[in-house]
Amino acid sequence: SNDQRTMKLNILALPAVFLGVEAFAPSPLPQQQSSAFRKQSSPPSKLFALNTYARTKWNPRGPSTSGFGSATATSVPYDAIRAELKLLMDNPSWDDGSLAPIFIRLAWHSSGTYDAATGTGGSNGAGMRFATEAADPENAGLEVARAFLEPVKRKFPSISYSDLWILAAYVGLEHTGGPMIPFQPGRMDHPDETYWESKNMSYGRLPAAEKYCCPHLDDSNVSSSLDETGKVKGWEGLCTHVRNEVFYRMGFNDQEIVALLCGGHVYGRCHPNFSGYAGPWVE
């Protein structure tokens, strides 16, 4: 519905999430992954874009040592691409009739691998085009978003995938009633997936919704998975994961974490074939 698409997100912190934040000292990343609370097994699978260039001194129109390109912004018709993306947003064949939520999720997941301490990961590179990063369990279903954007890339080949994915999310926010976020171009795509090993990338950089929580139980035993206050057992560990292992590593503070997780999950819905869950996180 139109109400679901506009969301009425009056959360001023969300644009700041897209523009990036100062880095905090990250915690070491554990290698284990949890499939707890998965209602069914999911293939090798949550929302916003942390742009790795934000609050750094780089020039999108000139040489860069941070991994961004030197192509001039005027060589890419960004206004025309914005207009093309707006034409895509309303799509009755997908979920509630809008592609904005899945474009936002694509931008976030391509950006959420960022490590402020090492400068690795993040939206620069569009590594999800390659099998290794695409196979991260937290990226399940995003092949749909990438496929919807392929015609735009073919029509405007001068824009990098890295820029296109972020711009699509910006336009999605704008189209659903959010602010028009100033776009800074210049990201370069990885030519292949050798970056994965050369930059010491690994799974586990994206947040896992059930990490450190108790294993999923069927409905008849659901009370066994709750503590005396009604919270899922292991929620403290999940909080530590979200704050210390994921968002502090990227440079978020607690206010920005809440804005991203709570504001972002108002968009879109879950899909059983991707995550094991069905329907919107928030109703």
Give me the active site residues, please: 109, 281
CB-CB neighbours of 254 under 10 Å = 10
Q: Is 267 helix (H, G, I), strand (E, B) or coil?
A: coil
Residue 244 DSSP label: I
Count the residues in the chain: 283
SS3 per residue for 46-63: CCCCCCCCCCCCCCCCCC
Sequence-ordered alpha helix ranges (H) in the chain: 2-6, 13-19, 78-89, 100-111, 131-134, 142-155, 161-175, 195-198, 235-240, 248-250, 254-258, 264, 272-275
Distance CA 201, CA 195 (A): 8
Burial class of residue 48, CB neighbours in 10 A (0-12, 13-18, 19+)? buried
Q: Is the dihedral of CA 132, 159, 172, 63 positive or negative?
A: positive
Strand partners, 187: 68
d(CA 188, CA 71): 9
